[in-house]
Structure 1
Amino acid sequence: MGITDQDTSAISGVAVVPPGLEEAAAAELTALGCQAGPPLRRAVRFQTNLAGYYRLHLQARLPFRLLRELASFPCHSRDELYAGVQRAVDWGRWLPPGASFRVDATGSAPGLNHSHYSALQVKNALVDLQRQQWGARSSVDLDDPDLALHLHLGGGAAALSIDGSGASLHKRGYRAAMGLAPLKENLAAGLIALTGWDGSVPLADPLCGSGTLLIEAACIALGRAPGLGRRFGLERWPDFNPQLWQQEQEAAAALARETLPCGKALAPIVGMEQDAGVLEQARSNAKAAGVAEALDLRQGDCRDFEPPPEPGILVCNPPYGERLGGGLGGGEALESLYADLGRMLKERCSGWSLWLLSGNPELTGALRMKASRRIPISNGGIDCRWLHYEIR
């Protein structure tokens, strides 16, 4: 993307993403007009302009947060951090005493090995400077600050960034009701992206829970931008451009459609859930996301699942064990569930492709199926694999 007349400054940023989705996130940022750097651990560096940064907040599905770098400087000690923060930018513009702020920190430097202490050093540098210059200081607001600062230490340098997101970007706003241990929306979107599903063949989830995988898939296929209808931290920044923001909002809203980009109808999206209450949550969430008409959500046991006649892609996030087992009982009941699921798939879903999120290799073995791909993914801190099977 070129720099426009309304937007004369380049922005260096970091997208914070779920572990395992770094490459997929880099591809998404590139598709949205950014220059994405090589994937890092849980992050992707990018270059864009103000319009592009706004676009990412409205359209990017995979990041948790989109950090915008304000300044970087050498940092080999606590004193160097303190002085570097005070010189970093024009704080009279970015953080006047009437504005609230919060500081988060990652990484380490000599004498700065604890993130809480590093964040405290940044806070002290700022409020000391404010008292010296204006005789007043900003308040700290951990929940809803006017400016959310992020410090990263490493390699003898400090990078000071601001978080444009406000609340985490995975919070789309459609999921007021959640089932047990749900997938975060951005992780679900990333898992769907890894399957390569594009809406042209059926998509089914025989254990759909509160529907997040299927809802995110439908939103992708039908161009429902994830960031519309919510507030962002960047709207309180001193360089916020309302006209540019409105243009990007209108462009994001214009992507919504009722068919695939080629004009063909969306293939069937089918989900099955045994628990009537959880199924009602899924239907409520789909309605709030604007894709209820695209989803066929049925009540029933996965053992009785009947797929659409045309082969497509199955996605599944079955329970992994004690933490996520819910009402399905202990290990024996879960092992039986996986064995029955494997049997059903082989009997009724020949020609389909299955993607299953596994947090327990022993349970996955009960499927009696051989995975052709194993992609490492972290789900809520649990080490998982996004497993791909071709069902013969």
Structure 2
Amino acid sequence: MDKTQSYDIFLIAPPGLEQVLAEEATACGFDEPRVVPGGVETRGPWSEVMRANLVLRGAGRVLVRIGGFPAVHLAQLDKRARKFAWGDFLRPDRPIRVEAVSRKSKIYHAGAAKQRVERAITEELGAPISDEAEIRLMLRIERDFCTFSIDTSGEALHKRGHKEAVGKAPMRETMAALFLRQCGFDGAEPVLDPMCGSGSFVIEAAEWAAGLMPGRSRSFAFEQLAGFDAAQWQSMRNAAGAGGRPESLYSGSDRNAGAIDASRANATRAGVADFCAFHQRPVSDIRPPEGRPGLVIVNPPYGARIGDQARLRSLYGSLGKVLMDRFSGWRVGLITSEMSLARSTRLPFQAPGPVVDHGGIKVRLYQSVRLR
């Protein structure tokens, strides 16, 4: 790969949170991030591809467009795929997984197109093809133009390498980070999650505040590509793991003892246990930690069955009362699927955020003004 060439970079976001990811990319210094359906586009050299995987808390994956050409039939696709400079990006000793989609094109059979590209890579480059390969090459045929992209992340980026213990319906780390940013969190104020589960919000906030990059502990697919600069990458990783100690405390509580054990173990693996506190307690017993007010962020149960609604309204009502009574000066961010549940808290919420898909359930973020 040409280390000086600028590439189109696509950052995948949860639908509904593209704008928040664009704000993060802007804050991290990426070049003119632009919101598009499903994510954010930017441009930069290969070093920016690596940096995006390393530093962005909200991106689900980082894709890079490596080139393309027009083709109106399979024979043309086969001929041009054989001339494509695969060796600039792919290594002959690393297996490749090819995926293909086709829209509004004369080449309408994506499976046949996939086979042609696989054959070209195998016969021209010598690389094996495997459905289990970490390196994923994506072919998109749209309006008779073939575009090739590489998924440079490998495993999805919410898999930081720290959160081994999870509870029911866990909040993905990437989504937790975007909700924190949407709430105006900047790494300086304290955060409390009164229904913390396995600790996603608390640990993300603590890592952010400590300056610990999300990708510091894991590997990425781009490490298996041609021209990978191991020395440059090691230098970037060394800087990413040199966090400081934040002034604020990041707190979580849950009535379930197993959730608290999981949160503590995850915080320890993430290297933030010294400035996180987890306590087993019901919502009725939560109190603000000492120090200045901050952000309460919570992802309570939603309840898919109609019979759950009365019980959940009571839970949300209890949460709202405790927050109003004890958390003067704090802001609240609440993620839920039903406006009626948010209203049950009687908290002073502003207009809800955009609809976001969380594990197949449509949710929104409800943010309050500072409580009095």
Amino acid at match of 1:311: P
Please state if 1:203 is matched with 2:195: no
* Residues 81-118 of structure 1, C-alpha deviations (whole Å, 9 max, x = no match): 5455344x3235545664311123456233566xxx52
Q: Would the alpha carbon gap of residues 201 and 253 (structure 1) be closer, same or farther in structure 2, given more than 3 Å must change?
A: closer
8 Å CA contact 1:71–1:159 kept in 2: the answer is yes
Q: What secondary structure sits across from 1:373 in the alignment?
A: coil
Please state if 1:333 is matched with 2:333: no
Structure 1, gaps ≥5 residues long: 1-5, 260-264
Q: Which residue of 1 aligns with 2:207?
A: 219
Q: What secondary structure sits across from 1:209 in the alignment?
A: coil
Q: Which residue of 2 aligns with 1:262?
A: none
Q: Which residue of 2 aligns with 1:103?
A: 98
State the distance in 2 between where 1:98 and 1:31 align.
Answer: 38
Amino acid at match of 2:114: V
Q: Which residue of 2 aligns with 1:3?
A: none
Q: What secondary structure sits across from 1:340 in the alignment?
A: helix
The size of the alignment, in residue pairs, is 368
Q: Calculate the aligned-residue CA RMSD, in Å.
A: 2.5
Shift of 1:13: 1.3
Structure 2, gaps ≥5 residues long: none
8 Å CA contact 2:91–2:225 kept in 1: the answer is no
Shift of 1:304: 1.6
Q: Would the alpha carbon gap of residues 107 and 280 (structure 1) be closer, same or farther in structure 2, given more than 3 Å must change?
A: farther
Q: What secondary structure sits across from 1:330 in the alignment?
A: helix
Shift of 1:383: 1.4
Matches within 5 A, 1:248-267: 248-254=236-242, 256-259=243-246, 265=247, 267=248
Amino acid at match of 1:177: A
Amino acid at match of 2:302: Y
8 Å CA contact 1:32–1:55 kept in 2: the answer is no
Shift of 1:332: 2.5
* Residues 321-356 of structure 1, C-alpha deviations (whole Å, 9 max, x = no match): 138x9xxx8332222111111121222223221000
Shift of 1:130: 3.6
Q: Which residue of 2 aligns with 1:168?
A: 156
Amino acid at match of 2:337: G
Q: Which residue of 1 aligns with 2:299?
A: 317
Shift of 1:297: 0.8
* Residues 131-161 of structure 1, C-alpha deviations (whole Å, 9 max, x = no match): 4x58xx644323333x310223435533211
Amino acid at match of 1:283: R
Amino acid at match of 1:379: H
* Residues 273-331 of structure 1, C-alpha deviations (whole Å, 9 max, x = no match): 000011100111111111111111111101221113532211000011138x9xxx833
Q: Would the alpha carbon gap of residues 204 and 127 (structure 1) be closer, same or farther in structure 2, given more than 3 Å must change?
A: same
8 Å CA contact 1:26–1:39 kept in 2: the answer is yes
Q: What secondary structure sits across from 2:206 in the alignment?
A: helix
* Residue of 352, 357, 367 corresponding to 1:388: 367
State the distance in 2 between where 1:69 and 1:183 align.
Answer: 30
Q: Would the alpha carbon gap of residues 127 and 182 (structure 1) be closer, same or farther in structure 2, given more than 3 Å must change?
A: same
* Residue of 335, 350, 353 corresponding to 1:372: 350
8 Å CA contact 2:105–2:141 kept in 1: the answer is no
Q: Would the alpha carbon gap of residues 143 and 345 (structure 1) be closer, same or farther in structure 2, given more than 3 Å must change?
A: same
Please state if 1:143 is matched with 2:135: no
State the distance in 1 between where 2:299 and 2:26 align.
Answer: 28
Worse-matched range after superposition: 198-207 or 240-249: 198-207
Q: Percent identity?
A: 32
Q: Would the alpha carbon gap of residues 244 and 129 (structure 1) be closer, same or farther in structure 2, given more than 3 Å must change?
A: closer
Q: Would the alpha carbon gap of residues 16 and 372 (structure 1) be closer, same or farther in structure 2, given more than 3 Å must change?
A: same
* Residue of 31, 35, 43 corresponding to 2:31: 35
8 Å CA contact 1:82–1:122 kept in 2: the answer is no
Please state if 1:280 is matched with 2:258: no
State the distance in 2 between where 1:100 and 1:120 align.
Answer: 20
State the distance in 2 between where 1:207 and 1:130 align.
Answer: 51
Q: Which residue of 2 aligns with 1:127?
A: 119
TM-score normalised by L of structure 2: 0.90
8 Å CA contact 2:26–2:33 kept in 1: the answer is no
Shift of 1:76: 5.2
Q: Which residue of 1 aligns with 2:284?
A: 303
Amino acid at match of 1:360: E
Q: Would the alpha carbon gap of residues 92 and 221 (structure 1) be closer, same or farther in structure 2, given more than 3 Å must change?
A: closer
State the distance in 2 between where 1:292 and 1:129 align.
Answer: 47
8 Å CA contact 1:100–1:138 kept in 2: the answer is yes
Q: Would the alpha carbon gap of residues 369 and 155 (structure 1) be closer, same or farther in structure 2, given more than 3 Å must change?
A: farther
Please state if 1:74 is matched with 2:74: no
State the distance in 1 between where 2:283 and 2:77 align.
Answer: 56
Please state if 1:241 is matched with 2:224: no
Worse-matched range after superposition: 311-320 or 346-355: 346-355
